[in-house]
Amino acid sequence: MRLRSYVAVVVLIVAVGLFARPSFARIIVGLSSVNVAFLPVYVTQEKGFFKDEGLDVLLVLFNAGATNLQALVGGDIQMMGSAFVETIGGRAAGADTKNFWGICNIMPFQLYSQPGFTSMKDAKGKRFAISRFGSLTDYLTRATLRHFGIDPKDVTILQIGSTPARFAALSAKAVDASIVWFPVTEIAKSQGFTKLFDLKEIFPEWPYETFAARESWLGKER
């Protein structure tokens, strides 16, 4: 029942300006990652609910919120599903990005590290994996370091890509630590990696995964 309600809301949210648009107008929606938070979007597309509402929706996957934002600002996509950090950063830089709906208010990320890396006091000189500079994982990694009194300049921050790519780098010992989330957190735990820190200790409430568009587009399509 909850998933059905969520799917209905997704249809409503994506159908911005439905009555002002011709039938089956193309709306390109960029998604910043493959995760269960976006499952209702995929279900809505797979079941044809978008087309039932006169919408032709194309879902495009990006490997980071930063690249998703670039596509939105550049006009290559009309909407993006991502963390709010990227769109707020874009707004601060002068882009007319606007978050108009949030999926949930939780912090799902945890910082996992190599088995021998068991304390943040040992973080200096270590290699931390993120998706891309300017992305959510970049922001959260730097925020965690500062929380423990560590200057991000004292570690090496590497652009690796999506959560699976970052975990693969961790498994290959190409990095010392990475922010990951469920179900990778459970895999990391089962394989003996160290749960270094749970980010909900810093951010107990977090608007995780939001939808955004350019404000000029939203105003026009209404």
- Give the model confidence (pLDDT) of 86-129 as tens digits: 888 888 888 888 888 887 788 889 999 999 999 999 999 999 99
User: How far is it, in rounded angstroms, from Cα 199 to Cα 148?
Assistant: 12
pTM of the model: 0.69
Strand ordering across the sheet containing 55-61:
55-61, 25-31, 79-82, 207-214, 97-105
pLDDT, tens only, 35-66? 777 878 888 888 999 888 888 999 998 877 78
pLDDT, tens only, 126-151? 999 998 898 889 999 999 999 999 99
> For residues 113-142, b (16+ Cβ closer than 10 Å) or e, as one string?
bbeebeebeebeebbbbbbbebbbbbbbbb
The CATH number of the domain covering residues in 2-106+206-221: 3.40.190.10
Least reliable range by pLDDT among 79-83, 155-159, 196-200: 79-83
pLDDT band at 166 (very low <50, low <70, confident <90, very high): very high
Answer yes or no: CATH 3.10.20.30 is held by domain 109-201: no
16-24: average pLDDT: 46
Q: What is the pLDDT of residue 20?
A: 42
Among candidate residues 29, 93, 20, the one with its CA nearest the CA of residue 61: 29
User: How far is it, in rounded angstroms, from Cα 47 to Cα 63?
Assistant: 25
Q: Where in the chain is the domain with CATH 3.40.190.10?
A: 2-106+206-221, 109-201
- Can you name the residues that pair with 159 across neighbouring β-strands? 130
Residues 6+ apart with CB under 8 A from 135: 32, 64, 65, 66, 83, 85, 86
Q: What is the pLDDT of residue 82?
A: 83
Q: Which helix (H) or strand (E) holds 11?
A: helix 2-14
Q: What angle do CA 112, 70, 206 make, to 5 degrees?
A: 40
